[in-house]
Amino acid sequence: MGNGDFMYPSSSDRQCATHRVAIPPPQPFFMSFKNSLKETFFPDDPLRQFKNKTPSRRFILGLQYFLPILEWAPRYSFQFLKSDLVAGITIASLAIPQGISYAKLANLPPILGLYSSFIPPLVYAMMGSSRDLAVGTVAVASLLTASMLGQEVNASQNPTLFLHLAFTATFFAGILQASLGLLRLGFIVDFLSHATIVGFMAGAATVVILQQLKGILGLDHFTHSTDIISVLHSVFSQIHQWRWESGVLGVGFLFFLLVTRYFSKRRPKFFWISAMAPLTSVILGSLLVYLTHAEKHGVQVIGNLKKGLNPLSFGDLVFTKPYITTSLKTGIITGIIALAEGIAVGRSFAMFKHYHIDGNKEMVAIGTMNIVGSCFSCYLTTGPFSRSAVNFNAGCKTAMSNVIMAIAVMLTLLFLTPLFYYTPLVVLSAIIISAMLGLIDYEAAIHLWNVDKFDFLVCIGAYAGVVFASVEVGLVIAVAISVVRLLLFVARPRTSVLGNLPDSTIYRNVEQYPNANHVHGVLILEIDAPIYFANSSYLRERISRWIDEEEDKLKATGKTSLQYVILDMTAVGNIDTSGISMLEELKKTTERRELKLVLANPGAEVMKKLNKSKFLENIGQEWIYLTVGEAVEACNFKLHTCKPEESQPWNNV
């Protein structure tokens, strides 16, 4: 790389052109602590709308904050009702068969799927801020409920206790979700990165699909394990028990569901065809079984569904040992997964319609609907993507579509449940498989591979953990890999050598800009992260290595020896006492090597701490500059105006 040509202004010109780096005025501890809390827990400043308002107006705004329905209901119009009516009926046609299917997946009575599509949507319609989220049960949470509670209680041998534990787990999940929202701790959910969710959802979908082989093949006995080895062993060890009638029916309906979904994807205006397909499958399957008496030939059916609305279940919650531990663990894991999915789905559709949803308010809404639902015979609900996508495509305008769906489910509970008697279980399995295939997002995995190999590793780790071990293990593996990566970002920040872009005073990474020029006798290093105890030792060693490499390079070329080391601290947003100690040691090291340490553009927080620690006095305010350009200019001025014996920086301090 070449060397830049520099013009050196006179000393008086330099003093006029150079600005000193300011030390921010001291702030009282309470004020500083208050600002830190605000930035941590209230980055969106939710209290801004209450400023300069009368007490009565604040009260109304407070009610609207926790009950958004009070904000949009007064403006509700007949045009909105027509759109929401169509959307509500459409998602009800999907919610009824899906609810029954997912309840079976959770090893719960099928009627619970309908109960869970009645009360929770009503609660969310009052408290939720998303216009497009359609509330209901989800496959992944259903599978987690079945597998985690199944480790403690066998659903076949003790169905009542299993049911009560499902209610209790839902109650704990709701408490967790609402607490995270009220305490403004929503950032915890962000530890489930996009790569984690893609791999986890794909793995869970694969496991769910494999579990449906029981229904497709008409098997009576099946493994309680969820890993692929156990499932395939259970399937192929019972070949003599496979029922061809069930298999033909299942494959036929699965083909029908996939064809309708493909058609709706190609022709978005016919979205309703895919949305109506599950209910159509249930109706056709029930008629087929009824007319052919297939239930007498090995095709399993749902049987009796209890008529009537949700019974109270608050008295069924189990808070005694040893079951409370299992319920709590299940509630925490399923609650976080459901929360991550619901908020991600809500934000996605809000982005399409150009409005904003408050993540913490959503947590409170989702948590409250699960707490209330657990008291009315519901198990865990959230905003599933498939149902919300149908709601979005159907043209919903407000959360009223959830109310209309709930009314449709209520009418079904009151009058139509006997019609599901002949519904074949194999149709429910086909509905679940069709929905789960949409969760295996191979295009997202390919995108991760192309963009970031480490994110792809996180994705594959989550997928492999779920498929080959269990859903819980997969989740732990994915989060662990993500946390390790986060720690690596903190503990191993990037440092780079900067050079001068030709004919400018701009300094950039020489690897990114190969035409950037090195500066005679000056090494410019950029630190790309805050300096904390976790990375201070690494930075000290890495900077020393940069100096060694630069000196070796200069010796090999016979050029001017290194005189100055400039640290560009633009990206150093903060520093702790370990970081300050590192700078003090680095200063001593550079002095021993007859070099001068120079700082460029340290931020307000960094300057405040360097001042309090007396490091500014130690290094000298004259060696701290506002920009890299000013620092280089000053170093070059000294190099070209001082005599060799005087230019040694340690003699000039």
> What single string gives the DSSP state of each residue in 65-85?
HH-THHHHGGG--HHHHHHHH
pLDDT at 51: 82
Q: Which residues lie below 8 Å from residue 551, measured CB to CB, with a gap of 6+?
A: 561, 562
Q: What pLDDT is recorded for position 7?
A: 45
3-state SS string for 426-450: HHHHHHHHHHHHCCCCHHHHHHHHH
C-alpha span between 103 and 166 (Å, rounded): 11
Residue showing tokens 């009575």:
109
Interstrand relation of 624-625 and 564-568 (parallel, antiparallel or unpaired): unpaired
Nearest CA to 500 out of 519, 484, 472, 522 is that of 519
- Tokens 């999940």 found at: 173
366: Cα separation from own chain's centroid? 16
Tell me the one-letter amino acid at 541.
E
Cα 152 to chain centroid distance, Å, stands at 30
Instruction: Report, as ranges of residue numbers, the positions in the chain whose pLDDT lies below 50.
Output: 1-17, 643-653
Please spell the DSSP secondary structure of 77-114, one letter per residue: -HHHHHHHHHHHHHHHHHHHHHHHHHHHHTTS-THHHH
Strand ranges (E), 304-418: none
Strand partners, 625: 600
Please state, as a whole number, how many other Cβ atoms lie within 10 Å of the Cβ of residue 430: 28
Answer for the pair 387, 94: CB distance below 8 angstroms, yes or no: yes
- The answer to whether the CB of 108 falls within 8 A of the CB of 159 is no
SS3 (DSSP) at 597: strand
CA distances 125 to 43, 510, 547, Å, are: 26, 55, 62
β-strand 495-500 against 522-527: which pairing, if any? Answer: antiparallel
Domain definitions of the chain by residue range: 75-484, 493-639
Euclidean distance between CA atoms 210 and 67, whole angstroms: 41
Dihedrals phi, psi of 643, to nearest 5 degrees? -70, 155
- Give the 3-state DSSP-derived string for 377-404, with helices as H, strands as E and coil as C: CCCCCECCHHHHHHHHHCCCCCCHHHHH
CB-CB neighbours of 326 under 10 Å: 19
CA distances from 51 to 4, 32, 46, 204, 356 (A): 55, 21, 10, 46, 20
pLDDT of 196:
85
**How high is the pLDDT of residue 274?**
87
Report which residue type is found at 131. Answer: R
CA atoms in the 13 A half-sphere facing the CB of 450 = 6
CA–CA separation, 454 and 460 (whole Å): 10
Taking CA atoms, 640 is separated from 269, 517, 592, in Å, by 74, 18, 23
First and final CA of the chain: distance in angstroms?
32
CATH class of the structural domain 493-639: alpha beta
pTM confidence score? 0.80
Q: State pLDDT tens for residues 284-332.
A: 999 999 999 888 877 888 988 889 999 999 999 999 888 999 999 999 9
